[in-house]
Structure formats: C-alpha cells, structure tokens
Chains A and B, each alone.
Chain A
Amino acid sequence: MKALSTDHLLGIKYLKKEDINLIFETADHFKEVINRPIKKVPSLRDITIANLFFENSTRTKLSFELAEKRLSADIINFSAGQSSVKKGETLIDTVNNILSMKVDIVVMRHPNVGAGVFLSKHVNARIINAGDGAHEHPTQALLDSYSIREKLGSVKGKKIVIIGDILHSRVALSNIFALQLQGAKVKICGPTTLIPKFITSLGVEVETNLKKALEWCDVANVLRVQHERMDIKYFPSIREYTQLFGIDKALLDSLGKKIVIMHPGPINRGVEITSDVADSDQSIILNQVENGVAIRMAVIYLLAQQIKK
C-alpha cells in the first residue's frame, strides 16, 4: 500500500506531488463512504485523536471532528479559552500532558506561525496543522484543490486567482504551494497594502485590477479580510474595499465566461462577494465544505496507517 512521504501534515510545502495524489485518491473513497446511508467506517477504532484549538474555529474544528468520527477514532477536544494555557503553561507541556493520556494524533490550530513544526520536533505524536498564524492551513488548500479537480477535472494547467487579504492569510500561502505543485497557474489580487512585498518570489503574479484578474482566471478563490490580524487599517474602509475588490453578479456576468467561485469561509456577504454570487451556480463554496470532511478523513487515515506500521 502507498504511504505519505511525511510523518506529519505541517504544511503543503513539506509534501510531494505524489502525496497530494494519494490524499485525493483516498478522499475519493471516503467521499463515497460519507454519501452512504451508514456514513462510517471502523478503520481507526484503535486511534485516539486530540483536537487542540488554541484559536477560534468553527468550520475547521467541526470538519475535523466529523472526519474523525466517521473513521471511528476516539477523540478529545480542547480549546484555549478553557485551558491552562492562560495559566502560563508552555505549549509543549500542555500537549505532553494530553499525550500522556495515550493520544496518537494531534490536530492543532494555533495563532503562532510555525507552532505545528515546533510541536513536531518536541512531542511524540503525529501532528496535523489546522492553521498556524499566517503560515499554513494545509487541509484547507487540499480541499480547495480537490474541489477544483472535482469541478474541472484536474488542477494542472488551470488558472486560479486568489483574491483578498494575502498578507495575513495562511489559506493563500497553502493554496499557492498546493496549486503550483499540481501545475496550476496562480495569480493573486487584492489591495497592494495586503500583498506581501516579496510574494512574486514564490512564483506567482500580482494583478491589482479585479476585473482583469477575473477575466484571466478559471477559478477565483475569494478570501475574507482578516481584521483580527491587523494592527493598523490597511485600507480606509470596508465600503472602499468592496468598491475595489468586491465581486457582484454584474461583474461576474460581464466576464463572457463562467468562472468558478470559491471561498474558504466564513463569508462576509456583501463585502468580498455578494449573496447572489455566493449562492450562484458558479459557486462551489458548499462543495468545499463537504469535500473538507473527505479530505480530512483521508489525511487522518493516511497518517494513522503510518502509526500502525
């Protein structure tokens, strides 16, 4: 049986193309499973997973939890609000305490960049990064690519534009790595204040004109503005952001072709996209959510196989 080339899922940049293919093939299987009347397989009855969320999350946490339950793993949940983190305990101690209760896999979201990499070096468990600061959010990028593959047949050669707050976005970074690994062309688009100065060093192009970006692309992945990560106003007002970078139906219809609209959520309706765009037949936003469960099942399953070896 094929196996992943890594012991952890810390970021897309630590994966090989073959790993992504393997995850997708495995996800295909699980997608079929979760559409059965009995949506559950007994594969991971002997595996215990800790979901450690040191930062707020709704959909990612639910998606992981559901994926784990569908695989019959035992799970424990932990969020920073109710924890000893606030009492000054270090991350290593917190996690080691949980691991001493015989946990095999840790799914962690953390506000600090590199927290997953750090943990993988200091604790004895498989780590799945569910988002670490502005670094990576690998399962999101995998489900995004998987959704493109499902909708358009493949990712290779497709033109994807990522629109919005690139500077504070782990989703953007993971998506760039994932799409490039699969041979897609990537442009980014957003306010110049929210585009990292050295972003082109990653091999992407920058397009600051939204209409041009949309005319170029096959898929637009629209990101939310992450106000909570901003220490200063990077643009004068939301109104003005919407004027420059909001996608409405009129704009979408003016393109002369049908592009695919994606959004990792949560959507600020009326800001980055209007409701009629989010709910249109061009949008695959809810497919992304469904695929998220299948992708996370695949990742967890593949890492668990390595423990069993």
Chain B
Amino acid sequence: MNILIKSAKIIDSQSPFHLKTQDVLIEKGIVTTIASTIKNTNNIKEVKLENLHISSGWFDSSVSFGEPGFEERETIENGLKVAAKSGFTAVAMNPNTYPVLDNKSAVEFLINKANGNIVNLYPIANLTQQAKGLDLAELYDMYNSGAIAFGDYNKSINNANLMKLALLYAQNFDGLVISFPQNNSLSNNGLANEGETSTKLGLKGNPAIAEELQIARDLFLLEYTGGKLHIPTITTEKSVKLIADAKKKGLNVTCSVSAHHLFLTDIELEEFDTNYKVSPPLRTKKDINALKKGIINGTIDMITSDHNPIDIENKKIEFKNALDGTIGLESFFGAVNKLLPLEKTIECITNAPRKRFNLKNETITIGKTANLTLFNPELEYEFNKENIVSTSKNSAFLGKKLKGKVYGIFANNKLTIN
C-alpha cells in the first residue's frame, strides 16, 4: 500500500534521518522518499498526527498468548491485534501453552496461525520435552521450523547438567538458550519478594538470592560451555551486577527486564491484589534503580512487556491460588517511556532484541521495507480498563498514570492506526 507520513520525528539510531522531522513516503510497502516536505501529487493516503514520532517497528522478546490450550485467556488473532495496537510489529511468543511447544508441528502451528498478520510472530520453543526439565526437546528440528530461541518460559531448569548440555548442544546451530532466573529450592513457592512487605503481610518470601544464585550458576556454566545465553526478566540489583561482570569477562550473555519490574514495587501487594502477583515477584525501589542504571549503561539489553494474559477465574481468587502474570503490551510504552530516555527505550525494543534473536534488522531508510511504529511520546493519560483490548484484563498498570501513546504500526505492507 502507499501512504505518506507527514512531519514525523524519526527515532532510529541506525538511520541517517535520526532525530530529524521528515515526511516519509511509502510505496508498495517500501520507503521511497524521506524529505522535509513531500508533495502529495498522487492523492495517496496521508498520515498526519499530533507530535508524531516514528521508529523502526518494535519487537517484544517475551509475550504469552493462550493459544493453543488457553484460548479463554487470549487467542493468537486477538493477541496480535493487541500487539499491533501497542506498537509492536513483531513478538516472540513464549511456550506458555498447552500442549507445550516442544516439537516441530507445534512450532509450525503457531507460525501458520500468525501467517499473513500485520504483526510477525516468532515462537520461542520449549527447551525440554514436555517442559519437564528432564531431557532436551528436538531443538534443531524446531529451529529449522522457525523457533528463534529455547526456554521453558518461567519454569527454571533445576538440573545444572541439563543446562550445561543445552548450552553445548545449541551451539551446533548457533541456537539461543533462555534460562529463567530462579532457583526453585530457594524460591520455595514464595508468593512475594522476601522483604519488608512480605514480612508485614505474612506472605511467604521469594528471596532475591533465589534469582541471583540461578544467574550465577548459569553464568558459570556459560563460561565453561561457551554458547549463547539469554536471561529473561531479571529483577534484582545483584543480578544486574552479575551480568555486568559476565559481560566484562566477554561471555555471550544478554538479559531483559520487564516493564512491570521497572515500574512497580512489592508495596503494591499491600491489598493482596492478584494483578500484582507476577513471576519473578515485584521487588524494591533499590532494585528498580539498579535496573534502570543497568539499562542506561547497557548491561540490560532489552525491555519486555512479559505480557501474560490470565483469565479472571485464575485471578479473582485468593492471592495464594492466583496464577502469576500481568498483561503488559498495551501499557508498555506509556510505562517505560515515563521512566527512561526515549532513545534508550526505543533501542531496547528494536535493534538490541532483534539482533539478539537473530531477526531481520529494520531501519528507516530510503529503499528499505517499511516496518514502523508511530507514536506520541508526550501524551499523558491514566491507564484503565477501557484501554484494554486484550481478552484478559489482568493488568498491574490499572489506574497508573502513563506517558506516551502509540498511534499504530506499518508492517508487512499494512497500516493500522488506533
């Protein structure tokens, strides 16, 4: 399709037009002209929006939809609609499904299901058979079918030898291993960050050391095996330090942090609101400060929504029985943009994660395929239920003041404007 985007500020560190306000002409899905003013001679569709910014299309490295198995939480179709509305032109989908995503046909099912959508869906496949943490799944077969990385979502691999084998084996095809940072014997079914709040509320604590010990273990293993490791959703001050040290040593490790772990602390749990029950648990202000610093100095590579839709039946129950997770796509930009410099935020959801997950590099340049996110970073609003298109409404951001609104995306030669 052909569109003319009028006076958009381009945020794209890879583009020669970075930080310039330009008109962008897209013809048949290709950026054909970028100039300070482009005349609309052929009467093509114009996109003219207040304080319009564009960047290359955003990529979220950790989202869950319910399909297959939990369609009542979210379908792929609606999930991708939510992603598009939230500014993401690509998402990596977690193997948080039933049946699990431990074989080639399951991977192909997802890819076929998302085929033709404006948003690209990239499956993360299970690392172990049945996600049981006992034996490796057929990683290479799934890699060939389109799986971009391998991990058991928020189930950690208890067996150090198995993690060692995974890191070694994945090197045969340059695969990326994901290891959820939690030592289960120390987390011990804890319900909240072990700290002042959990003590006051009598909630069983999940201590920071449960995360840090697992990260330390995995980094030791990585040093021994070589290979590529990604650690998703780190949450503690010491975790940041462990990864910074590992990077200094030259280990091939990356990590992410979720928007809710940047935006919220465990103090939110005071009313036992299950929307704040997430895994890993919400931590403290001190941790948030360290995480922000880690993003700024490059220790933390990417930011994710860790979008995890949970149906009301599994949330409107007693805190202990409620499932972990918050939806996060729709509040993502407004939350993160409030906390970090715009260019850094964009870097953490475009080039950095795309590079790590080996996706096609996207940049706003003449002659390239247009893959764009359109947004206004200044608009402030309160996030509430009316903002949620996601089937499940379990948001930890309800009632929060956010800054930055997404207008829409252009990808796969399609435009969607909210």
Residues of chain A touching chain B, judged by Cβ–Cβ distance below 8 Å, are 13, 90-92, 110, 112-115, 117-118, 121-122, 132-136, 170, 173, 196-199, 201-202, 231
Flag if B198 contacts A135 (CB, 8 Å): no
Residues in B neighbouring A198, C-beta threshold 8 A = 194-196, 198-199, 205
Other-chain residue from A90, A115, A133, A202 in contact with B200 (beta carbon distance below 8 A): A202
Residues in A neighbouring B200, C-beta threshold 8 A = 13, 173, 201-202
CA distance A70 to B272 in the complex (A): 34
Flag if A114 contacts B201 (CB, 8 Å): yes
Residues in B neighbouring A112, C-beta threshold 8 A = 318-321
Closest to A136 in B: B202
Q: A90-B317, A112-B320, A198-B194 are in contact. Are A135 and B202 (CB under 8 A)?
A: yes
User: Most chain-A Cβ atoms within 10 A of its Cβ — which of B203, B271, B319?
Assistant: B319
Closest to B196 in A: A201
Residue B316 is within 8 A (CB to CB) of chain A in the complex: yes
Flag if B202 contacts A173 (CB, 8 Å): yes
Closest CB of chain B to A2's CB: distance in Å?
27
Closest to B191 in A: A113
Other-chain residue from B189, B205, B272, B316 in contact with A114 (beta carbon distance below 8 A): B272
- B97-154 at interface with A (beta carbon < 8 Å): none
Count of A-B residue pairs with CB < 8 Å? 73
- B263-289 at interface with A (beta carbon < 8 Å): 271-272
Closest CB of chain A to B191's CB: distance in Å?
7
Closest to A173 in B: B202
Residues in B neighbouring A92, C-beta threshold 8 A = 316-317
Kindly list 14 other residue pairs between chains A and B, CB separation below 8 angstroms, not including A13-B200, A113-B202, A135-B201.
Answer: A90-B316, A112-B319, A112-B321, A114-B272, A118-B318, A118-B319, A135-B203, A173-B202, A196-B194, A196-B205, A197-B205, A198-B205, A199-B199, A201-B200
Closest to A170 in B: B202
Residues in A neighbouring B241, C-beta threshold 8 A = none
Flag if A118 contacts B202 (CB, 8 Å): no
CA distance A121 to B318 in the complex (A): 11
Residue B204 is within 8 A (CB to CB) of chain A in the complex: yes
Chain B, residues 205-235, CB within 8 Å of chain A (1/0): the string is: 1010000000000000000000000000000
Residue B188 is within 8 A (CB to CB) of chain A in the complex: yes
Nearest 10 interchain pairs by C-beta: A114-B272, A135-B202, A134-B202, A201-B196, A112-B318, A112-B320, A198-B199, A114-B319, A196-B199, A117-B272
Residues in A neighbouring B316, C-beta threshold 8 A = 90, 92, 122
Residues in A neighbouring B320, C-beta threshold 8 A = 112-114, 133
Residues of chain B touching chain A, judged by Cβ–Cβ distance below 8 Å, are 188-189, 191, 194-196, 198-205, 207, 271-272, 313, 316-321
Q: A118-B272, A198-B198, A201-B196 are in contact. Are A134 and B319 (CB under 8 A)?
A: no
Residues in B neighbouring A202, C-beta threshold 8 A = 196, 199-200
Q: A91-B317, A133-B320, A231-B188 are in contact. Are A113 and B199 (CB under 8 A)?
A: no
Closest to B188 in A: A231
Flag if A115 contacts B318 (CB, 8 Å): yes
Closest CB of chain A to B336's CB: distance in Å?
29
CA distance A136 to B191 in the complex (A): 16
Closest CB of chain B to A266's CB: distance in Å?
20
User: Most chain-A Cβ atoms within 10 A of its Cβ — which of B195, B201, B318, B320?
Assistant: B318
Closest to A229 in B: B204
Residues in B neighbouring A115, C-beta threshold 8 A = 318
Closest to B274 in A: A118
Residues in A neighbouring B321, C-beta threshold 8 A = 112
Closest CB of chain A to B278's CB: distance in Å?
16
Residues in A neighbouring B194, C-beta threshold 8 A = 196-198
Closest to A114 in B: B272
In the assembled complex, 26 residue pairs joining A and B whose CB atoms fall closer than 8 Å, in A order, are: A90-B317, A92-B316, A113-B201, A113-B204, A113-B272, A114-B201, A114-B272, A114-B318, A114-B319, A114-B320, A117-B272, A118-B272, A134-B202, A134-B203, A135-B202, A136-B202, A170-B202, A196-B194, A196-B198, A197-B205, A198-B194, A198-B195, A198-B199, A201-B196, A201-B199, A202-B200
Residues in B neighbouring A117, C-beta threshold 8 A = 271-272
Closest CB of chain B to A112's CB: distance in Å?
4
Other-chain residue from B207, B313, B317, B319 in contact with A113 (beta carbon distance below 8 A): B319
Closest CB of chain A to B257's CB: distance in Å?
23
Residues in A neighbouring B204, C-beta threshold 8 A = 113, 134
Closest CB of chain A to B192's CB: distance in Å?
9
CA distance A135 to B313 in the complex (A): 24
Residues in A neighbouring B195, C-beta threshold 8 A = 198, 201
CA distance A71 to B280 in the complex (A): 48
